[in-house]
C-alpha cells in the first residue's frame, strides 16, 4: 500500500492514494506503525524463528489469528511479518499468501495449490533434500564415501545425479524415500506422488493431481486413487501435508490465509466434518514448523467452534491508531516535517477515521494534496470537508440500492420509501417496513457522514421523533464510521448502534441486522386467531423462502463481484501491457510512459495522442502476432510458423526497436506540450502571447524533424508477419502520424482563434 | 616408430569393457554376443538364480502346451538384465535339445516407465509382432493383423507360429507396476516364455494372483547386493584375462573394504572399475596394485565432477 504517488505537477504525495496493502509491498517506502498489535505479532514471529533455530526438534509451528475491521492493517501486518522474518533470516524465508474465497475449503486449497504450482521448486527442493539425507545416511556408513555424504547433506551435490552417475542402488533409496515421506506426511498417496517427482516423466501428472484434478492413469496404477479436492477434508489434509513437507525444510515457512471469515461464515454452511478437518489442519500446521497467520474480520473468531479456536496460539486484535502514532507516521513519511498538518489536525483526522489506518492514510493523502493545491496548512474545516467527501464517495444512491436489494430478497418488498412515521418532516424515514400489527414496523434511516455535533444532533432529533410516534425497530445507516465520542449519544437516541456503510460487507451486515429487527417485532406482535398454532411453521417457511431468495441474490452479487474482479484484473493487465510497451520506449524509470502524460491537455489533443499510440501499435504487429501464436487454430499455426521463420531476423528486431523510439518520441512530445500548456494557462487571459505561439511552432517542428529522421521504412520488415492486413494497417497508421504534429498544433491553438501554423 | 605410436600399440584393453558394447553400464548379453558367456561371474546370488532357472527349464518340452513367465527381482544395478539375457540364451540352446526352436525377441526398450499399463502392453505387443513379422516366423499372419489389439493378438499368437517355435520374449522392466506382471503372466500362453523384471518388492497379494493367472506359476528369480567378497572375485575374474604386468591387479581386500558397511550392487563396481582402469590403461606410471586408496580417490573424483557441474 505504501508506494508513493507521483503527482502530475511533479511533487510526490508522501501518502499512498490507495491504502490497500499488498503482500508484495516491500519497497523502502513502506512504513509500519508499531501498534500494540504489531508488537504482539512480531513477538510471536520472534518466538517462532527462535524455535526454528533451536535444534532440539521441538515443533516450532505457530498459529496466529489477526482480526480487525476493513482497513485496520491485517494484510499490512502479514506483509510486515514476512519482511521481518526475511530480514532476520537473510532472505531465506518461504511464504505464501492466500485470500480465502467466500466458498469452501476446497476453493481455498485450489488457491493454495495454484500458488504452489507457480513455485514447484519449493516442493521439489524439499523432496530432494529428503532424498539427499537418505543417501547421505547410507554413504556415511563407509569411511570411503563419507566426504560425498557430507556434500549431499550440505546440499552441494544433487542426489539424483549422484545415484545416476555412480550407479548406486536407486530403487532401494527411492523405497526409503517413500517410507520417509510417509512418516513426514502421514499420507500414503502423497508419499508416493512426491517420490514420483524424482523419477523422470511423472512431474506433470503429479502436479495435475496436486492441483486438484483426478489422478491420471499412471498415478492410479501406482496406488494414487483419491482426488484431493474430492472433499473439504481431503483438501485441508493436503494443505497440512505440504506444510509438513515444506515446514520441515531449513527455511522458515509462513502461510497467510487472509479474509478467512468469508470462508467460515459464508451462508453458515460449515459442516462439522469440514471444521474437524480444519481443526486438524491447524494442529498439523503447528506441528509442522510453519507459521500460519489467519486474518479476518472481528467475527472470524466468534464464527469458529470453540475447539477450533483453541487451536490458535495467539489472537491479535488490530488496534486503532492513536494520535501520537499517526504523528510519528506523518513525521516518518514527510522526512521529519509535520506541515502541512499540525498535532491538532492530525488528532482530528484520527478521530474522524476512528483510528482505522486505511481511513487515516487516505485522509492524509487527500489532505496533503488539498493543502498543496490551496497553498495552506491543513485546518479542522478542511479535515471535515475532506472526510465528508471521502465517506460520501459511495453516494447515497448506491446505499439505497443495496438496502432495497436486501429488503426485496428478504420478502419485504412492501417497504415504503420516504415514509413520514408521525406525519411530520422530522419523522421521515428513508424506508419503512410494516411488521406485526398496530402500525409497528422497521424504520431505516440513512445519514451522510456524522462528523460533528450538528450532524449528530440532527440525527438524534429525528431518531427520537420517530421512536416517539411508533413502535419500531430503528436502524441508522451512516456513510462512514461515526467518531467514537458520538457512540453513546447515538445509542441513546436510536436504541441500537448505527451501522456504518462499508462497500464490501454492507449487504451482509444489513441483512443480519434487518432480520434481527423483524424477529423482535414478530415476537412482540405474535399473530392470534385460528392460524395462531400454525404461525411458527408459517413464519419458518417464510424465513426459509426469504433465506433462499437472499442466497440467490448473494450468489448473483458474488458473480457480479467476481466479474467485476476479473474485469479489474483484465484492465490491470491491459494497463500493465500498455505500460510495458510504453515503458520500453520511455527508457527511464521516472517517465510515466503512457497516455496519462497528456491528460492535462485539451480533450481533442488527448484523443490525437491516443490515436498516435494506437497507430504505433498498428505499425508493429509483433504483439498481435505473438498473441496469435498461442491460438489453437489455423491462424495460430500460421503465426507460429511466421514467428519461427522471422523473429530472429535482425530486420524484425530493428523494426521493433524503431517502434520503441517512435513511442518515446510521441511521449517526449507530449511532455513538452504539457509543460508548454501549463505555462500558457498560467498566463493572464487574453490572446496568445507571440512567445508562446513561437514556442509551440518550435516544438512541432522538432517533432517533425525527428519523426522524419526515423528510418520508418525498417518497419516494413514486420508487415508480412501478419499478412495482407498488416500492410493495410501499417499504411493507415503512417497516414495518422504523417500530419500528427500539424493536427496537434491546430487543436492547441483553436481556443485562441488562431490555428494556422 | 616414435614414442607416441609405441604407446598406442602397447596400450592395454580395459578389462572391464564388454566386447561389442558401447556403454560401461550395458548388461552382458550372450544372445547377441556369445563371447559374453565367459564373463559371468558368480556374485550377488546370480549363479544360484541361474541354476534355479536351469532347473525349472531342464526339460522345456512342456512349453509345447504351456507358456510361462520368469520374473527377476532385485535392486537397480544388481544384474537382473544380465541374468535374463543369460537365461534366454541358455533356454534357446536347451530348446534345441527338445527339438524346438527358440526365438528371442527383445522388446525391453519399447515402453516407458511413465506410460499407462495399457499403453505399455499395447506397445510391447505391437513391437513383438512387428519383430516376428520382420523375422518371417509367422505361419499365419492373423495375429500380426491384430497387432493393435493386444488381447486378440496375444491369444492368436501361438496358433500363428509353427508348432516347433517357442517365443522367448524379453519384456520392458515393470518397476513398480507389479499389477502389470499379473497380466503378463496370463499373456504367456503356450510356446511363449516371458521374461519380466522389477526393482520393487512384489506384494504377497500380487504373487498369489500371478500364481493363479497363468497355466503355470511364474518362475521367481532374485538377485541382490554384493556379498562381502563378491567385488574382489569380480575384479579378479575380469583382470585374469589381462597379460601379466599390463595392468595392476586390485589389492586383495581393497574392494571388500570399499563395499562393506553399505548397499553396493555389481553395477556400481563395474562402473567404478571401468572408469578406474580406463585411466590406468592410458597413464604411463601405473601403481603396482590398485589399493583401497586408489578406489576411494577415483570414487570421490567422480562425485567431485558432479559438484563442479552442478546446474
Give the tens place of pLDDT for each residue, A336-351: 888 889 999 999 999 9
Q: How high is the pLDDT of residue B167? A: 97
User: At A547, is the pLDDT very low, low, confident or very high (cuts 50, 70, 90)?
Assistant: very low
Round to whole Å and give the CA distance between A94 and A120.
Answer: 12
Round to whole Å and give the CA distance between A234 and A231.
Answer: 5
Nearby residues of A491 by Cβ (< 8 Å), 6 or more positions away: A497
Percentage of chain A beyond pLDDT 90 is 18
Reply yes or no on whether the pLDDT at A311 is more than 50. yes
Higher pLDDT, B116 or B260: B116
In Å, the largest CA–CA distance within chain B is: 70
Residue of A nearest to B225 (CA): A169
Q: How high is the pLDDT of residue A528? A: 59
C-alpha grid cell for residue B296?
576411494
Q: How high is the pLDDT of residue A348? A: 92
Chain B residues inside the 8 Å CB shell of A169: 75-78, 225, 263-265, 268
User: At B4, is the pLDDT very low, low, confident or very high (cuts 50, 70, 90)?
Assistant: very low
Q: How high is the pLDDT of residue A281? A: 85
Reply yes or no on whether the pLDDT at A718 is more than 70. no
Nearby residues of B258 by Cβ (< 8 Å), 6 or more positions away: A142, A144, B231, B264, B292, B295, B296, B299
Pairing of strands A253-258, A94-99: parallel
What average pLDDT does chain A have?
A: 80
CB contact under 8 A, A147 and B258: no
How far from B125 is each of A119, B151, B152, B189, B218, CA to CA, in Å? Answer: 40, 9, 10, 13, 19
Is B307 touching A (CB cutoff 8 A)? Answer: yes
Helix H or strand E encompassing A476: strand A472-479
Higher pLDDT, A249 or B303: B303
Nearby residues of A496 by Cβ (< 8 Å), 6 or more positions away: A473, A474, A475
Q: How high is the pLDDT of residue A333? A: 86
Is A164 within 8 Å of A174 (Cβ atoms)?
A: no
Higher pLDDT, B239 or A35: B239
Closest Cβ opposite residue A167 in set B77, B200, B307: B77
| pLDDT tens figures, A549-583 | 445 544 555 565 556 556 556 655 555 555 455 44
Reply yes or no on whether the pLDDT at B12 is more than 60. yes
Across the range A673-689, mean pLDDT stands at 82
How far from A17 is each of A170, A390, A480, CA to CA, in Å? Answer: 58, 12, 18
Round to whole Å and give the CA distance between A474 and A443.
Answer: 5
* Cα–Cα nearest to B285, from B236, B244, B247: B247
First vs last C-alpha separation in chain A:
47
Q: How high is the pLDDT of residue A552? A: 54
Round to whole Å and give the CA distance between A477 and A500.
Answer: 6
Across the range B250-266, mean pLDDT stands at 90
Reply yes or no on whether the pLDDT at B110 is more than 90. yes
Q: How high is the pLDDT of residue B173? A: 96
Round to whole Å and give the CA distance between B242 and A379.
Answer: 101
Closest Cβ opposite residue A169 in set B260, B265, B295: B265
C-alpha grid cell for residue B151?
488381447
Pairing of strands B165-170, B192-198: parallel
Q: Reduced to 3 states, what is the DSSP secondary structure of residue A79?
A: helix
Round to whole Å and give the CA distance between A622 and B62.
Answer: 72
Chain B residues inside the 8 Å CB shell of A142: 258, 260-262
Chain A residues inside the 8 Å CB shell of B260: 142
Round to whole Å and give the CA distance between A511 and A549.
Answer: 12
Closest Cβ opposite residue A157 in set B201, B264, B306: B306
Residues on A contacting B at a C-beta cutoff of 8 Å? 138-139, 141-142, 144-145, 147-148, 151, 156-158, 161-162, 165-172, 175, 199-202, 205, 217-218, 221-222
How far from B98 is each of A600, B51, B52, B192, CA to CA, in Å? Answer: 101, 19, 19, 15
The neighbour count for residue A451, using CB atoms within 10 Å, is 21
Across the range B121-135, mean pLDDT stands at 96
Q: How high is the pLDDT of residue A56? A: 64
Pairing of strands A62-67, A94-99: unpaired
Reply yes or no on whether the pLDDT at A402 is more than 60. yes
Scan residues 254-273 of B and list those with Cβ closer than 8 Å to A: 257-258, 260-265, 267-268, 270-272
Chain B residues inside the 8 Å CB shell of A217: 116-118
Give residue for cell 477515521.
A353
Is A296 within 8 Å of A262 (Cβ atoms)?
A: yes
Reply yes or no on whether the pLDDT at A755 is more than 70. no
Q: Where are the beta strands (DSSP E) in A333-460?
A: 416-420, 428-434, 441-447
| pLDDT tens figures, A625-663 | 777 777 777 777 777 776 776 677 777 777 778 888 888
Kindly report the nearest CA distance between residue A94 and chain B, in angstroms: 22
CB contact under 8 A, B116 and A156: no
Across the range B260-286, mean pLDDT stands at 92
Pairing of strands A441-447, A428-434: antiparallel
User: At B5, is the pLDDT very low, low, confident or very high (cuts 50, 70, 90)?
Assistant: very low
DSSP state of A322: P
Q: Please tell me the least confidently modeled range out of A53-67, A313-327, B90-104.
A: A53-67
* Cα–Cα nearest to A478, from A495, A454, A497: A497
First vs last C-alpha separation in chain B:
45
Reply yes or no on whether the pLDDT at B168 is more than 90. yes
Is A236 within 8 Å of A280 (Cβ atoms)?
A: yes
CB contact under 8 A, B271 and A151: no
Is B303 touching A (CB cutoff 8 A)? Answer: yes
Q: How high is the pLDDT of residue A406? A: 87
| pLDDT tens figures, B16-53 | 998 888 887 889 999 999 999 999 999 878 999 999 99
Higher pLDDT, A142 or A543: A142
* Cα–Cα nearest to A631, from A641, A620, A619: A641
Q: How high is the pLDDT of residue A194? A: 94
Round to whole Å and give the CA distance between B230 and B270.
Answer: 12
Percentage of chain B beyond pLDDT 90 is 77
Q: Reduced to 3 states, what is the DSSP secondary structure of residue B122?
A: helix
Most confident of A166-170, A240-244, A365-369, B66-70: B66-70
Is A125 within 8 Å of A250 (Cβ atoms)?
A: no
Closest Cβ opposite residue A201 in set B77, B113, B261: B113
Amino acid at each position: 500500500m505504501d508506494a508513493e504517488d507521483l503527482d502530475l505537477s511533479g511533487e510526490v504525495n508522501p501518502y499512498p492514494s490507495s491504502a490497500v496493502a499488498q503482500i508484495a509491498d516491500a519497497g523502502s517506502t513502506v512504513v509500519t506503525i508499531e501498534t500494540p498489535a504489531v508488537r504482539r505479532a512480531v513477538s510471536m514471529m520472534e518466538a517462532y524463528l527462535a524455535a526454528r533455530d533451536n535444534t532440539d526438534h521441538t515443533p516450532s509451528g505457530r498459529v496466529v489469528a489477526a482480526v480487525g475491521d476493513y482497513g485496520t492493517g491485517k494484510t499490512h501486518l502479514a506483509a510486515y511479518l514476512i519482511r521481518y522474518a526475511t530480514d532476520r533470516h537473510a532472505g531465506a524465508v518461504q511464504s505464501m499468501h492466500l485470500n480465502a474465497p467466500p466458498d469452501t475449503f476446497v476453493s481455498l486449497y485450489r488457491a493454495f495449490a495454484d500458488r504452489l504450482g507457480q513455485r514447484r521448486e519449493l516442493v521439489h527442493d524439499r523432496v530432494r533434500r529428503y532424498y539427499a539425507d537418505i543417501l547421505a545416511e547410507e554413504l556415511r556408513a563407509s569411511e570411503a564415501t563419507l566426504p560425498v555424504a557430507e556434500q549431499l547433506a550440505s546440499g552441494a551435490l544433487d542426489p539424483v545425479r549422484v545415484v545416476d552417475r555412480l550407479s548406486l542402488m536407486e530403487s532401494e533409496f527411492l523405497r526409503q524415500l517413500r517410507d520417509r515421506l510417509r512418516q513426514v506426511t502421514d499420507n500414503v498417496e502423497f508419499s508416493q506422488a512426491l517420490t514420483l517427482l524424482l523419477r523422470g516423466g511423472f512431474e506433470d501428472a503429479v502436479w495435475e493431481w496436486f492441483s486438484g484434478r483426478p489422478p491420471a492413469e499412471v498415478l492410479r496404477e501406482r496406488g494414487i486413487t483419491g482426488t484431493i479436492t474430492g472433499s473439504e477434508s481431503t483438501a485441508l489434509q493436503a494443505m497440512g501435508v505440504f506444510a509438513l513437507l515444506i515446514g520441515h525444510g531449513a527455511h522458515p515457512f509462513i502461510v497467510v490465509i487472509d479474509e478467512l471469515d468469508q470462508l467460515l461464515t459464508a451462508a453458515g454452511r460449515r459442516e462439522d466434518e469440514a471444521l474437524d478437518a480444519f481443526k486438524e489442519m491447524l494442529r498439523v500446521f503447528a506441528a509442522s514448523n510453519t507459521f500460519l497467520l489467519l486474518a479476518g474480520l472481528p467475527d472470524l473468531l466468534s464464527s469458529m467452534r470453540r475447539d477450533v479456536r483453541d487451536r490458535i496460539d495467539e489472537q491479535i486484535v488490530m488496534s486503532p491508531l492513536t494520535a501520537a502514532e499517526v504523528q510519528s507516521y506523518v513525521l516518518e513519511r514527510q522526512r521529519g516535517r509535520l506541515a502541512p498538518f499540525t498535532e491538532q489536525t492530525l488528532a482530528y483526522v484520527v478521530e474522524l477515521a476512528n483510528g482505522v489506518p486505511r481511513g487515516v492514510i487516505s485522509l492524509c493523502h487527500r489532505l496533503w494534496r488539498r493543502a498543496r493545491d490551496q497553498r495552506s496548512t491543513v485546518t479542522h474545516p478542511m479535515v471535515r470537508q475532506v472526510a465528508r467527501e471521502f465517506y460520501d464517495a459511495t453516494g447515497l444512491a448506491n446505499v439505497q440500492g443495496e438496502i432495497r436489494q436486501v429488503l426485496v430478497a428478504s420478502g419485504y418488498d412492501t417497504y415504503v420509501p420516504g415514509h413520514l412515521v408521525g406525519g411530520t418532516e422530522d419523522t421521515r424515514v428513508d424506508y419503512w417496513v410494516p411488521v406485526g400489527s398496530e402500525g409497528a414496523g422497521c424504520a431505516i434511516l440513512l445519514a451522510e457522514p456524522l462528523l460533528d455535533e450538528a450532524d449528530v444532533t440532527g440525527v438524534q432529533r429525528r431518531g427520537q421523533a420517530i421512536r416517539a410516534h411508533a413502535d419500531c425497530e430503528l436502524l441508522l445507516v451512516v456513510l462512514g464510521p461515526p467518531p467514537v465520542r458520538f457512540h453513546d449519544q447515538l445509542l441513546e437516541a436510536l436504541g441500537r448502534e448505527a451501522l456504518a456503510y462499508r462497500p464490501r460487507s454492507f449487504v451482509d451486515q444489513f441483512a443480519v441486522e434487518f432480520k434481527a429487527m423483524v424477529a423482535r417485532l414478530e415476537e412482540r406482535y405474535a399473530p392470534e386467531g385460528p392460524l395462531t398454532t400454525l404461525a411458527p411453521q408459517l413464519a419458518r417457511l417464510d424465513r426459509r423462502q426469504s433465506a433462499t431468495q437472499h442466497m440467490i441474490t448473494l450468489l448473483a452479487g458474488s458473480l457480479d463481484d467476481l466479474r467485476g474482479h476479473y474485469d479489474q484484473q483484465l484492465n490491470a493487465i491491459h494497463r500493465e501491457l500498455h505500460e510495458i510497451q510504453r515503458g520500453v520506449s520511455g527508457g527511464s524509470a521516472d517517465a510515466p510512459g503512457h497516455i496519462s502524460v497528456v491528460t492535462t491537455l485539451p480533450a481533442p489533443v488527448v484523443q490525437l495522442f491516443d490515436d498516435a499510440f494506437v497507430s504505433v501499435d498498428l505499425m508493429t504487429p509483433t504483439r498481435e502476432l505473438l498473441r496469435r501464436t498461442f491460438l489453437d487454430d489455423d491462424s495460430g499455426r500460421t503465426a507460429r510458423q511466421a514467428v519461427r521463420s522471422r523473429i530472429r531476423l535482425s530486420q524484425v528486431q530493428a523494426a521493433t526497436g524503431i517502434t520503441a523510439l517512435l513511442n518515446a518520441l510521441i511521449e517526449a512530445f507530449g511532455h513538452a506540450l504539457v509543460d508548454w500548456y501549463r505555462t500558457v494557462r498560467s498566463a493572464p487571459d487574453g490572446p496568445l502571447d507571440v512567445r508562446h505561439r513561437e514556442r509551440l511552432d518550435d516544438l512541432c517542428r522538432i517533432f517533425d524533424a525527428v519523426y522524419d529522421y526515423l528510418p520508418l521504412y525498417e518497419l516494413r520488415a514486420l508487415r508480412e508477419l501478419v499478412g495482407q492486413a498488416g500492410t493495410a494497417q501499417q499504411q493507415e497508421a503512417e497516414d495518422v502520424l504523417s500530419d500528427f504534429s500539424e493536427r496537434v498544433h491546430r487543436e492547441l491553438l483553436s481556443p485562441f482563434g488562431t490555428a494556422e501554423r | 616408430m616414435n614414442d607416441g605410436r609405441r604407446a598406442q600399440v602397447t596400450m592395454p584393453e580395459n578389462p572391464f569393457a564388454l566386447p561389442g558394447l558401447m556403454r560401461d553400464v550395458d548388461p552382458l548379453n550372450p544372445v547377441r554376443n556369445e563371447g559374453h558367456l565367459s564373463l559371468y561371474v558368480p556374485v550377488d546370488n546370480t549363479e544360484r538364480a541361474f541354476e534355479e532357472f536351469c532347473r525349472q527349464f531342464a526339460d522345456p518340452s512342456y512349453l509345447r502346451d504351456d507358456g510361462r513367465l520368469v520374473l527377476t527381482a532385485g535392486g537397480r544395478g544388481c544384474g537382473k538384465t544380465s541374468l535374463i539375457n543369460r537365461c534366454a540364451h541358455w533356454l534357446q540352446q536347451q530348446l534345441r535339445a527338445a527339438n524346438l526352436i527358440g526365438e528371442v525377441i527383445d522388446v525391453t526398450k519399447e515402453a516407458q516407465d511413465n506410460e499407462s499399463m495399457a499403453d505399455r502392453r499395447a506397445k510391447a505387443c505391437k513391437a513383438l509382432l512387428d519383430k516376428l513379422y520382420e523375422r518371417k516366423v509367422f505361419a499365419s499372419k492373423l495375429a500380426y493383423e491384430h497387432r493393435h489389439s493386444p488381447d486378440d493378438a496375444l491369444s492368436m499368437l501361438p496358433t500363428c507360429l509353427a508348432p516347433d517355435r517357442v517365443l522367448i520374449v524379453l519384456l520392458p522392466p515393470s518397476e513398480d507396476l507389479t499389477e502389470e506382471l499379473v497380466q503378463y503372466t496370463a499373456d504367456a500362453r503356450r510356446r511363449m516364455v516371458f521374461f519380466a523384471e522389477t526393482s520393487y518388492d512384489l506384494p504377497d497379494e500380487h504373487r498369489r494372483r500371478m500364481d493363479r493367472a497363468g497355466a503355470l506359476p511364474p518362475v521367481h528369480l532374485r538377485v541382490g547386493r554384493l556379498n562381502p567378497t563378491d567385488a574382489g572375485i569380480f575384479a579378479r575374474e575380469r583382470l585374469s584375462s589381462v597379460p601379466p604386468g599390463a595392468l595392476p591387479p586390485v589389492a586383495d581386500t581393497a574392494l571388500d573394504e570399499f563395499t562393506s558397511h553399505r548397499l553396493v550392487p555389481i553395477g556400481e563396481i563395474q562402473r567404478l572399475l571401468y572408469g578406474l582402469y580406463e585411466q590406468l590403461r592410458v597413464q604411463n606410471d601405473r601403481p603396482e596394485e590398485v589399493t583401497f586408496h586408489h578406489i576411494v580417490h577415483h570414487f570421490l573424483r567422480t562425485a567431485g565432477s558432479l559438484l563442479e557441474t552442478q546446474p
